[in-house]
Structure 1
Amino acid sequence: MLFIVGIIICFTHIFAILGSPPIVLWHGMGDSCCNPLSLGSIIKLIEKEITPAPYVHSLRIGANVEEDTTNGFFMNANHQIDYACKLLNADKNLTNGYHAVGFSQGGQFLRAIAQRCPNPPMLNLISIGGQHQGVFGFPRCPGDNVTICNYIRELLRFGVYESVIQDHLVQAEYWQDPHQEATYRRVSVFLADINQERTFNPDYKTNFLKIRNLVLVKFLRDTMVDPHESEHFGFYAENNTAKIVPLRESTLYANDLLGLKIMDQQSRIKFLESDTDHLRFTDQWFIDNIIPFLKD
């Protein structure tokens, strides 16, 4: 533990000399790395508010923006994590560490990076609307992807836990049916793994505890994520969608399968809220609530 603290202090001194740490962004479903109206505007805001402007790597999963967008729907989440790990390892600007900001499903994907790919080191992990206990519903589609989302709804209805759907439909890979918990734990190819619900991987916990802070943003009027409490690691009770089990009452927390209890006791989990719909925060809200975690 003292060794890890020493490394963090060392990195802090390095960044104090060179400027703020680099930042890695991962977009949400239906978006891309380089959309000027979404992540493009976030990058400009970061560069405006942090001086000198930090290096920003907005992850592109695929050869171009079109592939990046499509892969957010149809590329196996585990393959996306592997792809992103290679990108991060190849980026020499990230060698001494980086802050990570994930938007919507990018939040749980970056958490998987923290658990599976500890090098280069992740400093703060900021999840803005990430669905860390999954979803049970697909109420609304982002942007102009209505045709794709209608197709996805049909596939989910066909059989969310069928192997062919699990292997090729991203949203199925973090779908948690509270009425089929045993099936979910057995066949979920992504969420059940990173939440340690099938087998316990000690490296996941060890690696996750290396981050400084976990910042979780929940949207109080979210019409896209069902239930929106998943953004704070809450979820429906088994066989009861009328009851939400918050993080601190969950098995994940009680058994400390990820180190969340340790982090919480050390005040390293920050529970933030935005009284808006999914990802509908203002520039000022981002400046007030997120920018401070990106400066040091």
Structure 2
Amino acid sequence: MVKYILILLVGVIKLALGDPIPIVLWHGMGDACCLPFSLGPFKTFLEKEIPGVYVLSLKIGNSIAEDIEHGYFMSPNKQVAYVCRTLTSDPNLKNGFNAIGFSQGGQFLRAVVQRCGHKIPPLKNLITLGGQHQGVYGLPNCGALKHKSCDYLRYLLNYAAYYDWMQNWLVQATYWHDPLNEDLYKKKSAFLADINNELSVNKTYIRNLNKLEHFVMVKFDNDTIVQPGATEWFGFYVPGQAKKIQNLEQSDIFLKGRLGLRKMKMQSKLVFLSTPGNHLQFSEEWFITNIVKPYLLT
């Protein structure tokens, strides 16, 4: 009898409080949805901190091997379309969800919001951890601004990055952003220039992004993977050179209203957080205090 009373009480509490808002995760380059050295433990961590929460860790493809491979060699445009279909067909998300993107998964999830936010269940809070919202112009762990050899390799990538075959073949080329040749980047970027509305303004992208309750961007203060680190807060190099940084508010994307980010800032929807450490390195305590409590429990 006591057992049945407890079950009834749990049911009443759930009805009163409501089930936790589901969470969708999208991993970064070289990672996978569910492996124990990738997002598997993080999914378990969220389920422990938010009892009863449904967590969908996105797997792009039919296997873990395909998921990892597609992080390098499947066009982000195809990946985004795949995820849009996945989110639409998952009944556990029908009442809405929060989303967390790790590294390149951050800008990919933003593309999901912009391109199919009017078709998928409502996305409340988008959280990007080390996302490259204005792309990258540097090589991981290379310190491109300090070593001539890194600059040389960067110039080689510049030479090939905007060929059509490279844009269709290598994921990272689709968000390679050469500040020394902005026109070429805007014309040839198969992914990033589009979602940033840099050639033309897609008003659907603006409307969908502005439906978010919060767009949270987390920057890692000692990041040696992402160059420049300012891209994690939607900043980048001042066009025409590769040393001086401008923040989001100084960019054309912000000033010319290409994504409606000025309006989102005025509505306190843009959130800029930082944490010490290298790329994707943060403590559980920091994440609980800064992400779980304010954005995943509300």
| Superposition TM-score, scaled by structure 1 size | 0.88
**Which residue number corresponds to residue 44 of structure 2?**
44
Change (3 A) 1:125 1:17: same
**Which residue number corresponds to residue 156 of structure 1?**
157
SS of equivalent to 2:243: strand
Per the TM alignment, residue 216 of structure 1 is displaced from its structure 2 partner at its CA by 0.3
Distance 1:87 1:227 in 2: 32
**Which residue number corresponds to residue 138 of structure 1?**
139
**Which residue number corresponds to residue 57 of structure 1?**
56
Change (3 A) 1:291 1:16: farther
Distance 1:214 1:230 in 2: 15
Gaps of 5+ in 2: 1-13, 143-152
Give the count of matched residue pairs. Answer: 272
Q: Any idea what the Cα deviations from partners look like across 1:75-106, whole Å, max 9, x if unmatched?
A: 00100000111111110111111000000000
Query: Amino acid of the residue matched to residue 239 of structure 2?
Result: E
| Superposition TM-score, scaled by structure 2 size | 0.88
Distance 2:35 2:161 in 1: 30
Distance 2:237 2:15 in 1: 41
Q: Any idea what the Cα deviations from partners look like across 1:144-179, whole Å, max 9, x if unmatched?
A: xxxxxxxx9898365000010011110000010001
**Which residue number corresponds to residue 109 of structure 2?**
110
Distance 1:121 1:138 in 2: 36
Q: Which has the higher contact order (CA 8 A, sep 6+)?
A: 1
**Which residue number corresponds to residue 35 of structure 1?**
35
Per the TM alignment, residue 17 of structure 1 is displaced from its structure 2 partner at its CA by 3.9
Runs of 4+ with >6 A deviation = 152-155
SS of equivalent to 2:242: strand
Change (3 A) 1:16 1:197: farther
Distance 2:209 2:108 in 1: 13
Gaps of 5+ in 1: 1-13, 142-151
Change (3 A) 1:66 1:50: same
**Which residue number corresponds to residue 262 of structure 1?**
263
Per the TM alignment, residue 38 of structure 1 is displaced from its structure 2 partner at its CA by 2.8
Identity of aligned residues (%): 49
Contact 1:78 1:190 in 2 (8 A): yes
**Which residue number corresponds to residue 81 of structure 1?**
80
Q: Any idea what the Cα deviations from partners look like across 1:269-293, whole Å, max 9, x if unmatched?
A: 1100011100011111111111121
From the CA coordinates, give the structure whose radius of gyration is larger.
Answer: 2
